[in-house]
Structure 1
Amino acid sequence: MNFTAPTFYFDYESDEIKDFVKEFRSDTISKKEKAKRLYLKVRDTYRYDPYSLSFSKEHYRASYLVTQKKGHCIDKSIILIAGLRSLGIPARLHLAKVKNHIGVERLVEKFGTNELTPHGMVDLLINDKWLKVSPAFNESLCAMCNVEPLDFDGENDSIFQEFNNEGMEFMEYLEDYGYFEDVPIDFMETNVREHYPHIFGEDRNIKEFRL
């Protein structure tokens, strides 16, 4: 598999992605440092929003997502992957099921549970080592939840905050769906419909939903 190639979704040859990563193109910056800086830019440029669901292929193109002000964890992962691939850093989408334990009232109200699936994160290859990172929770959101934002040192996984600043359980991973070379839109739609049937009912023509 080629984890540096552009695809329909990771369309990093677009002007939008080229502009987003232009500050990281210097040959004087190592790939490790580029990955660290790009991770932080994606993490904090877009406000995390799990309440907009879409199964429109166009809405999962990096060139579209990078122009938005907020995004789901998968949206932000796609932007990061496209940016990393454009810088020659192998990257791929990784999906899982997670459970949040803090600030979940609205989640439970809208989804009927505090379990979120599929949750998106990123696998990236630095110095011959695959690492997992999650750019989902922006710094301001973490402050609201009294949890430290996830940093990435370029050497270790950075995928979740297990506890908040008071030692309360914050997030846990329940199931690992593995990695994908491109965005598995059909798998994602099936997964959401199976876990949250009350949202869409039986109408498979509904491709977008705002909770």
Structure 2
Amino acid sequence: MADTPSRNGAAMPESLEHALAATEFIDHASAEVGQFVADVLPDGGRDDKDRAVRLYYAVRDKIGYEIYGADLSRRGLTASRTLRLGRGLCIHKSLVYLAALRSVGIPGRLVLTDVRNHLASDRIRTYIGGDVFHYHALTSVHLDGRWVRATPVFNKLMCRLYGIEPLEFDGTADSVHHPYRGDGARHMEFLHEHGEFDDLPHQQVLDGMRHHHPDIIVGPDRDRFAPGSLVADATGRSA
């Protein structure tokens, strides 16, 4: 079958169509996503690589990273809702990045993994039952005919507070969590990959969180994380 045109006018293989679609969670036709992209790319960008890189840094640093209070409900995980709040968990921020990419015709997929985070605070370790976090999210981006991975999650402030080097992305090499930080201390390692997804498998993620991290899941519908503050954890201040 013939290729179909993408938003930027180029032919798009049918195998990539699902990686461009608007979904319940990747709601790239929303006003919030449209305004975010317009603010980041007022000139439209030079090419797909330039657009992907600029959007990456905007999501990484303009949206705060916060695990506490994270809303895992269907509404709470939409890209538009995260943009309204201005903060989110790795899943929220990855979905925003995918929405922004797809809005300018760049295919993207959600990657879900289990990781061991050696820099988790004592409070987080208690809440999640150790240092293994299930369903950590990042993205896979289709640029120049191939897939590269990008993790627009930890903003500069969070990296500084926790002694982590911010992850850079140039559109050509994978940007994933470094196993070591500058002083050699272990930061994060990937333990298991659940796969790449054209859309968020919401029930799978929610069931997995409830099963693996029951102590941090609260609320009448058990679909949000307990309140708190990563900044307070890092600085010793009260949340």
Matched, 1:146 2:172: no
Q: What SS does structure 1 have at the residue aligned with 2:192?
A: strand
Say which is worse superposed, 140-149 or 49-58, in terms of deviation. Answer: 49-58
Residues 98, 109 of structure 2: 8 Å contact kept: yes
Q: Whole-Å Cα distance in 2 between the matches of residues 159 and 55 of structure 1?
A: 23
Residues 210, 222 of structure 2: 8 Å contact kept: no
Matched, 1:66 2:83: yes
The answer for the alignment partner of 1:3 in structure 2 is 19
| Distance apart, 1:173 and its partner CA | 0.6
Matched, 1:82 2:83: no
Ranges in structure 1 where 5+ consecutive residues have no aligned partner:
none
Q: Whole-Å Cα distance in 2 between the matches of residues 190 and 157 of structure 1?
A: 29
Q: Could you say what the CA RMSD is over the residues aligned between the two structures, in angstroms?
A: 1.9
Residues 145, 164 of structure 1: 8 Å contact kept: no
* Greater RCO (Cα-Cα under 8 Å, separation 6 or more): 1
The answer for the alignment partner of 2:213 in structure 1 is 196
Q: How does 1:163-174 map to 2 (within 5 A)?
A: 163-174=180-191
The answer for the alignment partner of 1:127 in structure 2 is 144
Ranges in structure 2 where 5+ consecutive residues have no aligned partner:
1-16, 228-239
Q: How does 1:95-114 map to 2 (within 5 A)?
A: 95-114=112-131
Residues 93, 122 of structure 1: 8 Å contact kept: yes
Which TM-score applies when normalising by structure 2?
Answer: 0.82
| Distance apart, 1:204 and its partner CA | 8.2
Q: Whole-Å Cα distance in 2 between the matches of residues 27 and 17 of structure 1?
A: 14
Which TM-score applies when normalising by structure 1?
Answer: 0.92
The answer for the alignment partner of 1:44 in structure 2 is 61
| Distance apart, 1:50 and its partner CA | 1.5
Q: Whole-Å Cα distance in 1 between the matches of residues 198 and 221 of structure 2?
A: 26
Q: What SS does structure 2 have at the residue aligned with 1:197?
A: coil
Instruction: Report the identity percentage.
Output: 32
**How many residues are matched?**
210
| Larger CA Rg, structure 1 vs 2 | 2
State the 4+ residue runs in structure 1 displaced beyond 3 angstroms.
Answer: 25-28, 197-201
Residues 52, 72 of structure 1: 8 Å contact kept: no
Q: Whole-Å Cα distance in 1 between the matches of residues 87 and 72 of structure 2?
A: 17
| Distance apart, 1:25 and its partner CA | 6.0
1:54-96 CA-to-partner distances (Å, cap 9, x unmatched) read 3311111111111112210000000000000001000011100
Q: Whole-Å Cα distance in 1 between the matches of residues 220 and 76 of structure 2?
A: 17
Matched, 1:182 2:199: yes
Q: Whole-Å Cα distance in 2 between the matches of residues 58 and 28 of structure 1?
A: 30
